[in-house]
Structure 1
Amino acid sequence: MKKLILPAFCAVALAAASCNNAAKEEKKDSVTAGSENMATTEAPANVLTDAEKAEGWALLFNGSSLDGWRIYKGKESNTWGVQDGLLHCIGSATDKSDMRGDLITNNQYDNFELVADWKIAPQGNSGILYLVTEEFEAPYMSGPEYQLIDDENFPEKLEDWQKSGANYAMNPPSKLAAKPVGEWNHTRIVLNKGKLEHWLNGEKVVDTEMWTDEWQKHKTTGKWKDYKGYGTAKKGHICLQDHGSEVWFKNVKIRELK
């Protein structure tokens, strides 16, 4: 009997150990799967956290309408809309009609911090302008531009001051920080009493001072030498450029600085 009991006991023990190990592996797999799901879960777009609200942030795009925005100088346009919770500009290689137009905020801002996520179509070109006024034919005649472009595949040769993150035609980006075309990029613009910073995907790519002698020299010797109103306003609209390319925006937020 003793010889029979020992093997039987061992068999039971081995079976129990095997079950425990299987349970542990199953639990481990469950935890791993849960961690993977958590890692791939994105924060909701176009909403403010409680912390952001406390810091004074405001949404410029609500994810469902163009409330708070209008076309520059009130012209008609059919290129801007909302697509799947994204602010979307329709692209076209051939449509150069009068129905294309730049989108500006109803409100104007002077000292601010602006953030936005964006992606652009292959060979695309767009921009985020600020301090825009409506006394000229086009927004770029007054407002500085944070350049958005397909750096790698744009069909024309690009100067450094035309690449993503540049203060267009004024300050080239210190490094190329844009993600491959079609992926989301994160932009941050800080303007406070003339001190200007452009950030792209966590990298500071422009750090300059507006309205200084050096700034004035750049203006009067470069592309803007014949545009007397360029960069002169101390307060203006935020503008999203319709350059004929398809482009998407989300999480467009602003915080006014004192």
Structure 2
Amino acid sequence: MKKLVLPAFAAASLALASCGGGAKTDDHKDSASIGSENKATTEPQANVLTAEEQAAGWKLLFNGSNLDGWRIYKNKPSNTWGVVDGTLHCTGSATDKSDMRGDLLSNEQYENFELEADWKLAPQGNSGILYLVTEEFKAPYESGPEYQLIDDENFPQKLEGWQKSGANYAMNPPSKLAAKPIGEWNHTRIVVNKGHVEHWLNGEKVVDTQMWTPEWEKEKTTGKWKDYKGYGTAKKGHICLQDHGSEIWFKNMKIKSL
């Protein structure tokens, strides 16, 4: 598989690996292989917009070929993000699971928007999609709310409700667990409109909340974010993909301003 990395931060090239046996010469194919071929031919092309989506104002956040439109938070040196087989890929690490690695930031900022993305996480993985992120703090999570992505079933530590997939991390637990088994693709939708936030996971609305209300302020000031004065205060900011030391893949990332 071929991997492209940010030119400014690439530290080394990724080894190419391939596997497979010889080609079959039998003209007769079993039903499983025929079904697989039919699925491949009917699956829509990734990382493209339909004419209807373009007319509705959708724009791709990831073009499937390179990291145009993205950079590392605060322009830190990092080589953990790249493009593998048409997916936006974070390599992860077997030893470094900190939240101070190379988070990936959109060049553009967004205020009121609808965002969609497909993602797949490695076993025991942990990541997130942050929004309304600014860069005056040490880490993106100090400003931007986070849509949590995690291995709900096999994470090596006990998870609270507000840490489960689809949660508004450390603020609102998901109303239901809607993530697919690890190794399968999930579909995420995030809507932010004048402080009204919706988190959707695989077609299920799992969070519906309003920012900057008295209830929101109480949750912020009595919970994990009580010492982070800048958390959730920005009305406009970047989209950010978290590198928490776990391998994760994204595709079909698109956004529409509201």
TM-score category, normalised to shorter length:
0.7 to 0.9
Verify the 8 A CA contact 1:165 1:200 in the aligned structure 2: yes
One-letter code aligned to 2:249 = W
Where do 5+ consecutive residues of structure 1 fail to align? Answer: 1-32
Partner SS state of residue 130, structure 1: strand
Aligned counterparts of 1:97 and 1:222: Cα–Cα separation in 2:
21
Aligned mates of 2:56, 2:146 — CA distance in 1: 26
Equivalent position of 1:250 in the other structure: 251
Quick check: 2:90–2:243 contact (8 Å CA) kept in 1?
yes
Per-residue Cα deviation, 1:90-139 (whole angstroms, up to 9, x for no partner): 01121469993000000000000000000100000000000000000000
Q: For residue 41 of structure 1, report the CA deviation from its aligned partner.
A: 1.9
Alignment of 1:165 with 2:166, yes or no, is yes
C-alpha distance in structure 2 between counterparts of 1:45 and 1:162, whole Å: 29
Question: Are 1:117 and 2:126 counterparts?
Answer: no
Instruction: Give 2:238's aligned residue.
Output: 237
The amino acid across from 2:94 in the alignment is A
Residues 76 and 194 of structure 1: is their aligned pair in 2 closer, same or farther, counting only changes over 3 Å? same
Q: Does 1:181 align with 2:161?
A: no
CA deviation vs aligned residue, 1:20-42 (integer Å, no higher than 9, x gap): xxxxxxxxxxxxx79x8268621
Backbone CA RMSD of aligned residues: 1.9
Larger radius of gyration: 1
Instruction: For 1:192 and 1:75, locate their aligned partners in 2 and report how far apart those are by CA, in whole Å.
Output: 30
Q: Give the SS at the match of 1:131.
A: strand
Determine what percentage of the aligned residue pairs are the same residue. 83
How many residue pairs are counted as aligned between the two chains? Answer: 225
Hey, what's the Cα distance between the residues in 2 that align with 1:38 and 1:243? 33
Q: Secondary structure at the match of 1:52?
A: helix
User: 2:109 aligns to what?
Assistant: 108
Tell me the TM-score normalized by structure 2: 0.84
Could you tell me which amino acid in structure 1 is paired with residue 141 of structure 2? Y
TM-score with structure 1 setting the length: 0.84
Is the Cα contact below 8 Å between 2:67 and 2:82 reproduced in 1? yes
Structure 2 residue aligned with 1:82: 83
Aligned to 1:151: 152
Q: Measure how far apart 1:201 and its partner are.
A: 0.1
